[in-house]
Amino acid sequence: MVIKISKVLVANRGEIALRIMRSCREMGIKTVAVYSEVDRTSMHVRYADRAYSIGPAPSNESYLNIEKIIEVAKLSKVDAIHPGYGFLSENATFCQRCQQEGIIFIGPSPEVIRTMGDKITARSTMLKSGVPVVPGTNTKLTDDEKVVDIINKIGLPVMIKASAGGGGKGMRLVEKKSEILSSLRGARSEAKTAFGDDTVYIEKYIASPHHIEFQILGDQYGNVIHLCERECSVQRRHQKVVEETPSPIMNAELREKMGQHAIAAAKAVNYYGAGTIEFLVDDQLNFYFLEMNTRLQVEHPITERVTGYDIVKQQILIAEGSPLEIKQEQVIQFGHAIEARIYAEDTDNNFMPSPGLVTHITEPLGLGVRTDGYVFEGYRIPMDYDPMISKLIVSAPTRNEAIERMRRALYEYKITGVKTNIKFLERIMDCPDFKEGNYNTHFIKNNETFLLASDEAKIQFEDLAIVTAFMDYHHKTKKCRNGFNQTGKPSRWKDFHRSQNVKRIN
Ligand code: MV4
């Protein structure tokens, strides 16, 4: 049965809230925003048809507040809730609660979220359905002495991972026999603190893997397709920085094989919605199931660029109960797409978050460029959430041209008031290993010297630099927003020139 969704509550903030609302608008679906106190003037609030305050800045009291969000959903009479990524997107309890209240959760079933959230269950489910998993353990391990025996059998090095973890949290690499017990205890206590569950499992360590994930779409009638892969090996401390598709190491045969396994993985759990199957791929091109993400991912736009499909729209259609309209044979990749994540962070100071007032922002435009952001001039990036400012997505017919386009777009990107990683991203694009497509998950670590080299500060866009300095001055002196002071008058250039001793421009 198909139920038309006519109003959606977006239980998220920032760029992804905006991204979801854009698809809703195109589909003629009304949008309801929720916001915390610090997000009152945020872009997603302005963009939505309606907006409701849900509590103070801390996520626990706002974007993670299930009761409050359900209350707003009922009050505003929405048909569905889109959770975005992070926050409640992989919370089975929230998903179930929506169902109980007769609200459509735009995502998979609570059972699947639960299965995939428990990494041991996910592994054993994949093993049973013939999807290759990293050699390791598939049951809950309680006796530490037995774990030592098992590790000795698997052979070092191994990874100890938290079953309730994922994305690198509560993970330990063990290389020496003497380290086994202390690493095991360390991993357990870290997992206990972070997830309230100290269950761990063991995997053989894959030395220099690629992180390659497949985007899948499944409907509520058992049809599953994949939209090819994304290469996500450019990461820093399990935080993705650059993603691209196709993967430089992919070939048609491997794509076909991995794609079929990704589909089998989804079918094994009767998956519906959009999801991602993550694989580790070693230098021999052996691949192993790692985790499944049961949500829309940050890096979904690169897949949209090369396949042409709107993944959020597909999520909504699936949630309405429509059968998948895309057939696997129709899916083609056109050209190459790269995403770079723009963070408000200080790359020269251990990548410390750098929240604060954005005094100027000019985003790149032009052929093959997309930005998914939410920040505007005069916006204060709060310190309470992820410091991602936007995602810059470029596409071009070939990988080399996509890299050139990314460099051009990064050159055009101007942000003042907060520190950003834009220069760092430019150096990634200039890095020989990246340009040659010769990189794995150790790329940033292996190229640290090159990537962190601080070149001479040079002012590009000289006139614009002066204008942005003016905006900076203006905001600092007048404590105002959006280019106007409290009296509504713009600051005077005359005063600015006197204070700055800069060349006058007309
Ligand atoms: C691994 C691995 C090597 N061998 N598992 C890190 C994040 C989490 N999703 C799994 N991770 C890894 N698991 C085995 N058996 C190496 C990593 C890993 C990694 C994976 C993907 C992207 C970046 C990474 C950086 C360091 C380690």
Cα–Cα distance for residue pair 448/371, rounded to 1 Å: 27
Query: Is the distance from the beta carbon of residue 135 to the nearest atom of ligand 1 less than 6 Å?
Result: no
Q: Could you tell me the distance, in angstroms and rounded to a whole number, from the CA of residue 52 to the centre of ligand 1?
A: 39
**Pick from 66, 59, 101: which is nearest to 80 by CA?**
101
Q: Could you tell me the distance, in angstroms and rounded to a whole number, from the CA of residue 205 to the centre of ligand 1?
A: 9
Q: Could you tell me the distance, in angstroms and rounded to a whole number, from the CA of residue 237 to the centre of ligand 1?
A: 10
Cis omega (within 30 of 0) on the bond before 382? no
What are the φ/ψ torsions at residue 202 (nearest 5 degrees)?
-115, 140
Residue recorded with tokens 């519906």 = 272
The pLDDT tens digits for 325-347 are 999 999 999 999 999 999 999 99
Query: Is the distance from the beta carbon of residue 65 to the nearest atom of ligand 1 less than 6 Å?
Result: no
Query: Is the distance from the beta carbon of residue 159 to the nearest atom of ligand 1 less than 6 Å?
Result: yes
Residue with the smallest CA separation from ligand 1 atom 11 is 168
Would you state the pLDDT for residue 503?
53
Residue 366, pLDDT above cutoff 80? yes
3-state class (DSSP) for residue 171: strand
CB-CB contact of 229 with 337 (8 Å): no
Map 338-373 to HEC letters.
EEEEEECEECCCCCEECCEECCEEECCCCCCEEEEE
Atom of ligand 1 nearest to the CA of 203: 15
Structure tokens at 179: 């380290």
Would you state the pLDDT for residue 457?
45
Query: Is the distance from the beta carbon of residue 203 to the nearest atom of ligand 1 less than 6 Å?
Result: yes
Would you state the pLDDT for residue 470?
73
Query: Is the distance from the beta carbon of residue 366 to the nearest atom of ligand 1 less than 6 Å?
Result: no
Would you state the pLDDT for residue 501?
57
Residue 458, pLDDT above cutoff 90? no
What does the pLDDT average to over 201-208? 96
Q: Could you tell me the distance, in angstroms and rounded to a whole number, from the CA of residue 211 to the centre of ligand 1?
A: 8
Query: Is the distance from the beta carbon of residue 492 to the nearest atom of ligand 1 less than 6 Å?
Result: no
Catalytic residues: 295
Cα–Cα distance for residue pair 94/96, rounded to 1 Å: 5
Structure tokens at 315: 């999520």
Residue with the smallest CA separation from ligand 1 atom 5 is 205
Atom of ligand 1 nearest to the CA of 206: 4
For residues 62 and 167, which has the higher predicted lDDT (pLDDT)? 62
Rounded to the nearest 10°, the torsion over CA 325, 330, 332, 338 is: 0
For residues 464 and 113, which has the higher predicted lDDT (pLDDT)? 113
Q: Could you tell me the distance, in angstroms and rounded to a whole number, from the CA of residue 125 to the centre of ligand 1?
A: 20
Assigned CATH topology for domain 334-453 = D-amino Acid Aminotransferase; Chain A, domain 1 (3.30.470)
The pLDDT tens digits for 72-117 are 999 999 999 999 999 999 999 999 999 999 999 999 999 999 999 9
Q: Give the lowest-confidence range in 168-177, 335-344, 410-419.
A: 168-177
Measured CA to CA in angstroms, residue 467 lies from 334, 375, 416, 419, 492 at distances of: 39, 18, 11, 18, 12
Cα–Cα distance for residue pair 320/219, rounded to 1 Å: 10
Cα–Cα distance for residue pair 24/31, rounded to 1 Å: 7
Q: Could you tell me the distance, in angstroms and rounded to a whole number, from the CA of residue 358 to the centre of ligand 1?
A: 34
b/e sequence 371-392, b meaning 16+ C-beta within 10 Å: bbbbbebbbbbbebbbbbbbbb
Q: Where in the chain is the domain with CATH 3.40.50.20?
A: 7-106
Query: Is the distance from the beta carbon of residue 168 to the nearest atom of ligand 1 less than 6 Å?
Result: yes
b/e sequence 250-272, b meaning 16+ C-beta within 10 Å: beeebbeebbebbbbbbebbebb
CATH architecture of residue range(s) 135-204: 2-Layer Sandwich (3.30)
Cα–Cα distance for residue pair 311/6, rounded to 1 Å: 18
CATH architecture of residue range(s) 7-106: 3-Layer(aba) Sandwich (3.40)
pLDDT band at 506 (very low <50, low <70, confident <90, very high): very low
The pLDDT tens digits for 31-87 are 999 999 999 999 999 999 999 999 999 999 999 999 999 999 999 999 999 999 999
Bridge-based pairing of strands 369-373 and 345-346 is unpaired
Query: Is the distance from the beta carbon of residue 134 to the nearest atom of ligand 1 less than 6 Å?
Result: yes
Residue 481, pLDDT above cutoff 60? no
What are the φ/ψ torsions at residue 9 (nearest 5 degrees)?
-95, 130
For residues 446 and 481, which has the higher predicted lDDT (pLDDT)? 446
Residue with the smallest CA separation from ligand 1 atom 14 is 205
Structure tokens at 328: 């696997």
Ramachandran class of 180: left when φ > 0, alpha when ψ lies in -120 to 50, beta otherwise: alpha
Cα–Cα distance for residue pair 68/72, rounded to 1 Å: 6
Residue 275: is it exposed, middle or buried by C-beta count within 10 angstroms (0-12/13-18/19+)?
buried
What are the φ/ψ torsions at residue 251 (nearest 5 degrees)?
-135, 165
Cα–Cα distance for residue pair 439/327, rounded to 1 Å: 33
Would you state the pLDDT for residue 476?
67
CA 386 to chain centre: 10
Which CATH superfamily hosts domain 208-326?
ATP-grasp fold, B domain (3.30.470.20)
Percent of the chain whose pLDDT exceeds 90: 86
Q: Where in the chain is the domain with CATH 3.30.470.20?
A: 208-326, 334-453
Helix axes 311-320, 300-307, angle to 10 degrees: 90
From 280, 281, 299, the mutation candidate for ligand 1 (largest count of ligand atoms within 8 A of CB) is 280
Q: Could you tell me the distance, in angstroms and rounded to a whole number, from the CA of residue 394 to the centre of ligand 1?
A: 26
Would you state the pLDDT for residue 182?
94
Residue 171, pLDDT above cutoff 60? yes
Atom of ligand 1 nearest to the CA of 134: 15
Atom of ligand 1 nearest to the CA of 136: 15
Query: Is the distance from the beta carbon of residue 202 to the nearest atom of ligand 1 less than 6 Å?
Result: no
Query: Is the distance from the beta carbon of residue 241 to the nearest atom of ligand 1 less than 6 Å?
Result: no
CA 255 to chain centre: 23
Residue 493, pLDDT above cutoff 80? no
Query: Is the distance from the beta carbon of residue 167 to the nearest atom of ligand 1 less than 6 Å?
Result: yes
Q: Where in the chain is the domain with CATH 3.30.1490.20?
A: 135-204
pLDDT band at 479 (very low <50, low <70, confident <90, very high): low
From 235, 237, 242, the mutation candidate for ligand 1 (largest count of ligand atoms within 8 A of CB) is 235
b/e sequence 177-209, b meaning 16+ C-beta within 10 Å: eeebeebbeebbebbeeebeebbbbbbbbbeeb
If you ran DSSP here, which 8-state letter would residue 384 be given? Answer: T
Would you state the pLDDT for residue 142?
81
